[in-house]
A and B are shown apart, each in its own frame.
Chain A
């Protein structure tokens, strides 16, 4: 009792995969153009709420109460990293120090997210001008 016999790669599949590939490459191209330069801030979200804003120019160490335990965040030389946390795979502490807004730190088991933003847009200077 087999439902369908299409087990071999078809031209249609190649067309589908290529279409998805082009869409994805276009998305990557668009994402890369969103990179920011200059002074940066790190927005720290816990359980979906913005709980702290860290200046990446100020070296500091902060501790947050993550879902699985303390999450220790360090800012050093314009970069930010999660240096200690409790989670099954320790993905966010393995990520190391980052400074690009294109590589946010996402600690899913601890419900903690660190988003890097431009300090100018945060203070709304564009709006005043």
Chain B
């Protein structure tokens, strides 16, 4: 793929990721645990990782969270730092699993979703100086296993389609 095509594709993925991020923040899921999200924006992250590689994955994910936080109005707030710490921890674990262990996209996605929750809560405990969050962590971790699986299912479906149609002449 030429450099221009690659850059255009990355820009498109960031744009889709930002839209999914913003749309997701508008959807309120009825749940006994407050603040539960499906993490659908992660579909974009997985597509990037499996089509463009690790460097593009880091760029797309960081740009997506930065732009979405500005648009949603929580840039540099506590929520922003929680989001960033979740992203950093999950991305690191996903890259490690992707690069050094032979899991499929499902394993990578599930472990990413799991560590996203852990990263968010570690930052929350640090910022709010209280451990009350531990009561919600296990429930959110349980839900992350399901959301991670379905995000991977969606991403694998899209990637397979892209390969079939020789998207961007990879």
Contacts and interface: CB of A to CB of B under 8 A. Distances in A.
Interface of A: 1-4, 6-10, 12-13, 16-17, 20-21, 24-25, 27-28, 31, 34, 45, 48-49, 67, 88-89, 91-92, 94-95, 101-104, 106, 108-109, 111, 113, 115
A26 B73 CA distance: 37
A104 to B, nearest CB: 4
B78 A31 contact: no
Interface string B154-170: 00100110010000001
A101 B136 CA distance: 11
Nearest to A109: B79
A31 B106 CA distance: 28
Given A45-B128, A106-B34, A111 B110 contact: no
Contacts of B72: 88
Interface string B110-143: 1100100000000010011110111111110110
Contacts of A111: 78, 128
Q: For the complex, would chain B's binding face be called helix, strand, loop or mixed by DSSP majority?
A: helix
Contacts of B59: none
10 contacts: A1-B1, A2-B51, A4-B98, A9-B106, A24-B138, A24-B142, A88-B72, A95-B34, A108-B78, A113-B132
Interface centre among A12, A16, A34, A45, by most chain B C-beta atoms within 10 angstroms, is: A16
A38 B28 CA distance: 34
Nearest to B30: A94
B105 to A, nearest CB: 5
B38 interface: no
A85 to B, nearest CB: 13
Nearest to B141: A24
B25 A6 contact: no
A50 to B, nearest CB: 9
